[in-house]
Every structure is written in structure tokens, then in C-alpha cells.
Amino acid sequence: MTRLERALSIADLRELARRRLPASVFEFIDGGAEDERTLADNRHALSRHRIVPRVLVDVANPQLATPIFGHTWAAPFVVSPMGSCVLGWPEADIAIARAATAHGIAYTLSTMSTTSIERMANAVQGRLWFQLYVLKDPSVNDKLVARAQAAGYEALVVTVDLPVGGKRERDLRNGISIPLRFKGKHLWEGITHPVWAWQMLRAGLPEFENVRGLMGEEGAGLTIAARVGQSLNASYQWSDLARLRDQWKGKLLVKGVQHPADAARMAEMGIDGIWVSNHGGRQLDGAIAAADAVPAIRAAIQGRATLIMDSGVRRGVDALTAKALGADAVGIGRAALLGACVGGEKGAHRAIEILIDELRRAMQLSGVNDFSTAQVELVGAGH
């Protein structure tokens, strides 16, 4: 039995990734902003809820299929956008996207990916979404949107909770950056993690392919969070979102929504998907946990938009809890990446497989035979 087969949970994959990766890289993936209160509370918010199971239900063949935007997904998961995945495994973006495709779920490519829009579309024949970070230069944003449209991405996900980069103190202390600028500490980490170092050397130094040459070379030594933060548009407003709605011809989602009034206004203006997220606890430390924000947002949008939640999903049962709270599907980011950090495409496949198996089992034990129509009773926080 391989180490991937022995991994029974996302926590197991996290531990394997922690052992394999240099500490600075693992902390970049694993960490959050400032005191990491929101990072921790994302998990606590999900675990505070308890499902009240029903019995004497035929659950011999539970249906995980989920209708989203006119398509049927094999399971209610979508891979959340993540930048700089290549630090964990060469070509990690493509590896995770291929695993998502194999499981019949969508993959979201980040603006700050080290795989370009076009290269991903050529490498993966699956359901691809593109996530837009709003940069200061409107012409750059327009070019990114046009490229995603031309490459056939079925949905655009605009992230609005990033007017500035969060203060991720682990990264500041560790000096993680792209292009990589090695210090004595990083050299020692490479020596003590030879397999990782050899893979990185063979793959070559990564770049942000979608914005290559647009962020300036003078910032090469800045941390990832600070470097991205310097190029973000902190003046992006409702009128800009309305323009994007007119510009993009496919499904448009807004990611980083936490207030019900914002969600209601977005639904009214024709936004197709509301993505409830606090950026995995990597932005405002002290922000509401994503799961706690879902019920009020569900009530506010009144069925006018699809609701996706991410931040803190580590177990299959979390998807069932999120469904009970009002989400149509959940985003998985770190969970998929941790798998990829251990074994590339096979590792990402294992991570998604674990979550799907756990969800199927949770549905059976809860007396739920169809996820899309599930009526799950919860007790705990807010109940």
C-alpha cells in the first residue's frame, strides 16, 4: 500500500505534505493572516453544527450529482482558485485540474497561477472556470477576461475581498516570493528536503504566467502577498462590477462575499453565483467564518443565484453541513493542494476521492439519498 493509499483523511495528507515540504513552503500553503483567528474559526464554525440523522431511508445508492448552471456535476465540489501552487509540486495547477476533471467537478484557475489561461485550456479538457483578481490597470483586466472568453472558460469568478493583500506574517518571516530569491535559510531547506529541491530545479523557476511582465521586476524580492497586493485595484466598485457583468458573456460569480446586503444587490444585478468566502482566513483576520455567513446570504438572495461556500472544508460531511446551511456546493482549495503536494495528480485525485467518499458515507448515515434535494436538520450554533 502506497503512502497515498494509507492517507485516510485530508489531515493525513496535510501531515505528509508537512514532512515533504520545506517549512517556509508548507507555512505559505497552510497559514493565514495575522493571528489566524479566522483561519481557525472556519473549521470551528463547521464543527459547531451537528446533523440530526433520519433513519429508515433507502440510502443504498446515494446520489451526489448536483445541478449547477445547467450542468450536472458528479459531486457538489469545485476546486477553488489558488496561486503559486507550483511551490508544492511542479505543474500542480494542471495536476489538480486533471484530478477535478476525472471526478466530474469544475476547476477554477487563479489569475496568480503559474499556468497560463491558454496552457491550462490546452492541457485539460474539463470544466474550467477563470478567477479574476482586479488589477489597477483596467486594460490588463480586459485582456485577461478576453483571453478566458477566447479559451472557452465557462465561468468567470471575480474576487472582491482583496483590495489589498492580507498581512500573512508567516510569509513575511519566511521570505517566500516568486520569482524565487534564495536566502541561506532556503538553501538549507533545499538541502534538507532533497526530493522537493530536485523537482524544483528540474522544473525551473516559476512565474505568474497570466501577468508575466505586468507587475514590474523591481518587486522580484517581495513576498507573494505583498507583491500581489501592490498591483490590486483598491478602488473597484459596483459600477465596475456592472461593467464586467455586461462584458462577460458566460456565467459570472463573485467570490469573497460575506455580507447579505452585498449578496442581495449582486443577485439583483444579475450575478449568477455568490461565492461565500473569507479567502481561507488569509485576508481580514477577525472576519466572519464562511459557514456562519451562509444562512443570512441564502435568505438574502432568495434563490436568485447559485451559492457556493469555501474556507475550512476538510471533510466530506462539511459539504452536507454547508448544504443544510444553504450552500449549493462547496469550494475546496487547500485540501486539493495538500494532496498535490504529496503526489501531484495522484495526490490531488486522492484528496478529492477522500472527500467524495466521506460525503457519500455521511449522506448514508444521515438518511440522505439525494444531495441536491437534501433537507438536513442541524443543531448547534444558531439553532
In DSSP notation, 189-250 reads: HHHHSHHHHHHHHHH-----GGGTTSS-GGGTTS-HHHHHHHTB-TT--HHHHHHHHHH--S
Residue 230: the pLDDT is 76
361-374 pLDDT per residue, tens: 999 999 999 999 99
Contact 357, 334 (CB under 8 A): no
pLDDT band at 220 (very low <50, low <70, confident <90, very high): very low
Backbone angles phi, psi at 268, to 5 degrees: -65, -35
297-316 pLDDT per residue, tens: 999 999 999 999 999 999 99
Please state, for a pLDDT cut of 70, what percent of the chain lies above it: 92
Please identify every residue annotated as catalytic.
279
DSSP 8-state class, residue 69: T
- In angstroms, rounded to a whole number, what is the distance separating the alpha carbons of residues 224 and 195? 23
Residue 226: the pLDDT is 54
pLDDT band at 219 (very low <50, low <70, confident <90, very high): very low
pLDDT band at 204 (very low <50, low <70, confident <90, very high): confident
Please state, for a pLDDT cut of 90, what percent of the chain lies above it: 78
pLDDT at 179 over 60: no
- In angstroms, rounded to a whole number, what is the distance separating the alpha carbons of residues 161 and 239? 16
Better-scored residue on pLDDT, 187 or 222: 187
DSSP 8-state class, residue 54: -
Q: How many angstroms separate the Cα of 320 from the Cα of each of 72, 138, 242, 316?
A: 18, 39, 33, 7
Domain limits, the chain: 3-379
pLDDT at 173 over 90: no
pLDDT at 254 over 80: yes
pTM (predicted TM-score) = 0.94
- Give the residue from 223, 206, 113 showing the smallest Cα distance to 170: 223
Residue 221: the pLDDT is 45
CATH superfamily of 3-379: Aldolase class I (3.20.20.70)
Q: Which helix (H) or strand (E) holds 133?
A: strand 128-133
Average pLDDT of the segment spanning 173-202: 77
pLDDT at 383 over 60: no
When the pLDDT of each residue in the chain is averaged and rounded to a whole number, the result is 92
Q: Which residues contact 267 (CB under 8 A, 6 or more apart)?
A: 274, 300, 301, 302, 304, 305
Q: How many angstroms separate the Cα of 152 from the Cα of each of 200, 321, 362?
A: 31, 33, 35
Average pLDDT of the segment spanning 313-330: 98
5-36 pLDDT per residue, tens: 899 999 999 999 999 999 999 999 999 999 99
Average pLDDT of the segment spanning 345-366: 98
Average pLDDT of the segment spanning 211-217: 64
